[in-house]
Structure 1
């Protein structure tokens, strides 16, 4: 059996599912893309090639294994994008939550079924019909669960709105011992620099009590202010609109001291190193063209208690 436990974003990582890019299929047509950054690159002819993405994920896997992390990989589904494992499930405490996601991605869960079969069935929670959540919007953080979501007006309007009010309410009921705090995000189906696809595209806790944040990703200033007060302004690393677009908040913590980030994030790397973090740099700029990065590619199964 596989043990699962996750209570925050940074405790020492023991086991993780890392997405896969092999046999991903052809470049999608413009009308098949469901995020604005992918659309940009389809139009420009710069959509990432499979070989480059496979190499990037391999580099990430090597870093995880260097720190003794058990890395699980999805079984390959032919002609299917299986890179962003974060969205198809997530662990909070000792429960694996299997959400309802975009219908174009509903087959992805089959790639990790062999892993789910090794988890105690009493720890598996399938989200009910009408409840929409994607793992990129959900961040367990000690006594909190931070959730990016959209109210009905935005959820019905934008393809890039992936978590609804019912998702927020579901997590509140499922984890009564946690403070489930929802943040509405700014959305755009057409302009990537105006779109916070998930909460981890504009916010990410690191270390013991620090966070990377993009203020403009939040629809309401009071939500940004909540996080500023919670972490303390001196513990926030602010990124700008262009850095948000490049996915600077979508880093991944192996432990409170070790953060993995894209090798071109030079300003962020310098800031983190000055704050005492060990920064592991990997090439991930091709995968970022699909509006996802390191956190999006991972589904942590177990972190130290």
Structure 2
């Protein structure tokens, strides 16, 4: 049995589901794109090829091995993009919550069923149909659960809006002892530089009291100010519009002092080192073209 335990983003990781780029199918057509960044690369002929993405994910896997983390991989489904396991489920405390993902991604969940089977069934929750929530929008910070959402009346028109207010309220009811704080995110169907697909595209805590943040990812300045006050301005690394586009806030913590980051994030990686983090740099720029990065490719199951 897996004894699930995740209460924040940075405690020492013991078990994780890492996505897979094997056999992830042909380059999608423009009509099949889920997000503006993928669309941009499909149209430009620069969409990532499987061999490069497999290599990048293997580099990530090697870092987990180095730190003795138990790694589960999805079972391979022919022609299916299985890189972003963060979308399909998430753990809060000792509970596994199955996300309501886009209907044509349902089989991705089947591929990790063998992992779910190792969890106490009483601790596995399937959301009601009207509740939309994806793991990239859910961020645990000890007493807090931060949730990215989109409150626009045109929610249903945005394939980039993945978590609705019903999702926020469901989590509030499920975890009455936690402080659940939602953040209204900026969405764009057309311009990737103005699309915070999930909360982890514009914010993520690192270490004990620090974080990476993109101010313009929040529709309401008050939401940004909330994080500014909670963490303290001096503890937040502010990223630019282009750094947000390159997914600088989508790094991944293996421990409070160990962060896995993309090798080209020079400014961020220097800041992390200056703040006494060990930075494990790996190539991940090809996967980034699908508007997802390191945090998106992981589904943490157990942290100390």
TM-score by length of 1: 0.99
Query: Residue by residue, what CA displacement relative to the aligned partner does 1:110-150 show, whole Å, maximum 9, x if unpaired?
Result: 00000000100011011111000000000011000000001
Distance, in Å, in 1 between the alignment partners of 2:56 and 2:174 is 36
What SS does the aligned partner of 1:296 have? Answer: helix
Distance, in Å, in 1 between the alignment partners of 2:186 and 2:150 is 9
RMSD: 0.6
Asked if the contact 1:97–1:125 (Cα under 8 Å) also holds between the matched residues in 2, the reply is: yes
1:224 maps to 224
Asked if the contact 1:152–1:165 (Cα under 8 Å) also holds between the matched residues in 2, the reply is: no
1:200 maps to 200
Question: Equivalences for 1:86-101 in 2 at 5 Å?
Answer: 86-101=86-101
2:255 maps to 255
Distance, in Å, in 2 between the alignment partners of 1:139 and 1:38 is 24
Asked if the contact 1:13–1:254 (Cα under 8 Å) also holds between the matched residues in 2, the reply is: yes
2:246 maps to 246
Query: Residue by residue, what CA displacement relative to the aligned partner does 1:1-44 show, whole Å, maximum 9, x if unpaired?
Result: 11111000000000000000001110000000010000000000
Query: Given the superposition, is the C-alpha separation of residues 300 and 130 from structure 1 closer, same or farther in structure 2, using an over 3 Å criterion?
Result: same
Gaps of 5+ in 2: none
Q: Confirm or deny that 1:184 pairs with 2:218.
A: no
2:157 maps to 157
Q: CA deviation at 1:99?
A: 1.5
Distance, in Å, in 2 between the alignment partners of 1:104 and 1:268 is 35
Distance, in Å, in 2 between the alignment partners of 1:274 and 1:230 is 22
1:17 maps to 17
Distance, in Å, in 2 between the alignment partners of 1:179 and 1:38 is 34
Q: CA deviation at 1:240?
A: 0.5
Q: CA deviation at 1:157?
A: 2.5
2:268 maps to 268
Distance, in Å, in 1 between the alignment partners of 2:198 and 2:106 is 18
Asked if the contact 1:99–1:126 (Cα under 8 Å) also holds between the matched residues in 2, the reply is: yes
Q: CA deviation at 1:104?
A: 1.8
Runs of 4+ displaced beyond 4 Å: none
Gaps of 5+ in 1: none
Distance, in Å, in 1 between the alignment partners of 2:34 and 2:229 is 34
Distance, in Å, in 1 between the alignment partners of 2:300 and 2:16 is 4
Distance, in Å, in 2 between the alignment partners of 1:25 and 1:240 is 33
Q: Give aligned pairs, total.
A: 304
Question: Equivalences for 1:1-305 in 2 at 5 Å?
Answer: 1-151=1-151, 153-304=153-304
Distance, in Å, in 2 between the alignment partners of 1:301 and 1:65 is 16
Distance, in Å, in 2 between the alignment partners of 1:155 and 1:58 is 36
Distance, in Å, in 2 between the alignment partners of 1:261 and 1:166 is 33
Asked if the contact 1:12–1:254 (Cα under 8 Å) also holds between the matched residues in 2, the reply is: yes
Distance, in Å, in 1 between the alignment partners of 2:75 and 2:3 is 20
